[in-house]
Amino acid sequence: MITVLKKGTSDAQMQTLIDWLAGQNIEVHISRGSELIVLGLIGDTSKVDMELIESLDIVESVKRVSEPFKQCSRKFHPEDSVIEIGSEGTNKVKIGGGHFAVIAGPCSIESEEQVLCVANAVKAAGATLLRGGAFKPRTSPYDFQGLKADGIELLLEAKKATGMPIVTEIMNANHLPLFEDVDVIQVGARNMQNFELLKELGKIDKPILLKRGLAATMKEFLMSAEYIMAGGNEKIILCERGIRTYETYTRNTLDLSAVPMLHELSHLPVVVDPSHATGVKSLVAPMAQAAVACGCDGLMIEVHNDPPHALCDGAQSLTPEQFADTMGRVEKIRRVVEGI
Ligand code: PEP
Ligand code: MN
């Protein structure tokens, strides 16, 4: 249930209503927009007297919300969320609400030389965040599993050298202490419904890049975001990375309709990853352009200094030159979109 308060409602009046609802075991999520205050009522609202709330002087309207996701719903929070990223010594990056960001870097962190080379190159080409996997979710247990804690150390070195905030994937909540200085924690497609991990990430105050599961519906995707938000962490960036279909020429099928659909359903920023979505380097630039054309808030692109020798995902990794060319193409589409 959502309750929109009239303009000019004082904090004390709002608190009286919140206390009354708390007495009925209803938790209230407050969303303050520039014009209105929207209260999201969370809990069993079936016994709450809707007419009574509607009759209060301070209440503009009351609506029952049918979607199971609440805090990530645009009905609860009509304005776009802007996620602020960055820590001491890094550039400050915003994403969402008209702020566009590009996350780029290798699939996996392999060596100091590799991560620094790629970090400097993607920064020069205009990327604003550096990615790199240290804990890798691989289909085969015999494939490279990532440099783990050492990989995070190397990523931190690259952060220091370039001033770029860093993004890396977590697979186990027990590893959280290693992520202390990581700016954005990624939840990979395979862990989108690892609810215990999502609950732990709900308790921290750090942006989370949540990737869509391989076979997840948009509702399931948003319910996973809801798990993190229900714990108190509202800094979530959604990432469309393709879904599994019967197609085999591409690694996955990029569902671009998810971008405008998620924007309609939710206030959270939506980033597109054309690298994992296609698995084919020649498709990365066209799909990045298409994603920008349909309004995504950012991109995530894999870049490697020596793709044929990459320890993971070489076939979809761009060289620094190809990445710079892609950025130029993306920029042109962005100018058109901004002018619409
Ligand atoms: C990744 O971004 O490194 C990754 C493993 O992607 P996904 O979880 O989307 O497969
Ligand atoms: Mn990868």
Residue 74 counted as domain residue:
no
Residue 78 counted as domain residue:
no
Residue 318 counted as domain residue:
yes
Quickly state the pLDDT bin for 214 (edges 50, 70, 90). Answer: very high
Please report the pLDDT score of residue 33 as a whole number.
82
Ligand nearest to the CA of 279: 2
Quickly state the pLDDT bin for 340 (edges 50, 70, 90). Answer: confident
Residue 76 counted as domain residue:
no
Assess whether 106 and 211 both reside in one domain.
yes
**Ligand 1 neighbourhood includes 134 CB (under 6 angstroms):** no
Assess whether 132 and 33 both reside in one domain.
no
pTM, 2 dp: 0.94
Residue 297 counted as domain residue:
yes
Q: Choose one of 11, 29, 63: the last residue of a domain.
A: 63
What proportion of the chain, given as a percentage, has pLDDT over 90? 93
- pLDDT above 90: residue 35: no
**Ligand 1 neighbourhood includes 131 CB (under 6 angstroms):** no
**Ligand 1 neighbourhood includes 106 CB (under 6 angstroms):** no
Residue 18 counted as domain residue:
yes
Please report the pLDDT score of residue 34 as a whole number.
80
Q: What is the C-alpha separation between 46 and 192, in angstroms, rounded?
A: 30
Ligand nearest to the CA of 137: 1
Ligand nearest to the CA of 313: 2
Please report the pLDDT score of residue 216 as a whole number.
98
In this predicted model, what pLDDT tens digit does every residue of 303-323 receive, in sequence order?
999 999 999 999 999 999 999
Assess whether 43 and 179 both reside in one domain.
no
Assess whether 37 and 145 both reside in one domain.
no
Angle at 73 between CA 232 and CA 214, to 5 degrees: 85
Assess whether 180 and 311 both reside in one domain.
yes
CA of 231 to the centre of ligand 2 (A): 29
Whichever domain contains 284, its CATH number is 3.20.20.70
Assess whether 39 and 89 both reside in one domain.
no
Q: What is the C-alpha separation between 116 and 90, in angstroms, rounded?
A: 15
Assess whether 47 and 157 both reside in one domain.
no
Please report the pLDDT score of residue 339 as a whole number.
86
Mean pLDDT for the chain overall: 96
Average pLDDT over residues 191-213: 98
Assess whether 195 and 49 both reside in one domain.
no
Angle at 284 between CA 279 and CA 289, to 5 degrees: 145
CA of 329 to the centre of ligand 2 (A): 22
Residue 196 counted as domain residue:
yes
Ligand 1 atom with least separation from CA of 239 = 9
**Ligand 1 neighbourhood includes 107 CB (under 6 angstroms):** yes
Assess whether 201 and 59 both reside in one domain.
no
Assess whether 96 and 134 both reside in one domain.
yes
Nearest to 237 by CA among 203, 266, 200: 266
**Ligand 1 neighbourhood includes 86 CB (under 6 angstroms):** no
Average pLDDT over residues 137-148: 97
Q: What is the C-alpha separation between 159 and 151, in angstroms, rounded?
A: 12
Residue 261 counted as domain residue:
yes
Give, using CA atoms, the residue closest to atom 5 of ligand 1.
188
Range of the domain at 44: 2-63
Ligand 1 atom with least separation from CA of 242 = 9
- pLDDT above 90: residue 232: yes
In this predicted model, what pLDDT tens digit does every residue of 47-98 receive, in sequence order?
899 999 999 999 999 998 888 899 999 999 999 999 999 999 999 999 999 9
Assess whether 102 and 56 both reside in one domain.
no
Long-range contacts of 288-291 (CB under 8 A, 24+ apart): 288/326, 288/329, 288/330, 289/329, 289/330, 289/333, 290/254, 290/256, 291/240, 291/254, 291/256, 291/259
**Ligand 1 neighbourhood includes 188 CB (under 6 angstroms):** yes
Query: How many domains does one find in the chain?
Result: 2
Whichever domain contains 23, its CATH number is 3.30.70.1140
Assess whether 129 and 24 both reside in one domain.
no
- pLDDT above 90: residue 36: no
Give, using CA atoms, the residue closest to atom 6 of ligand 1.
188
Q: Choose one of 34, 63, 92: the last residue of a domain.
A: 63
**209 neighbors 191 (Cβ within 8 angstroms):** no
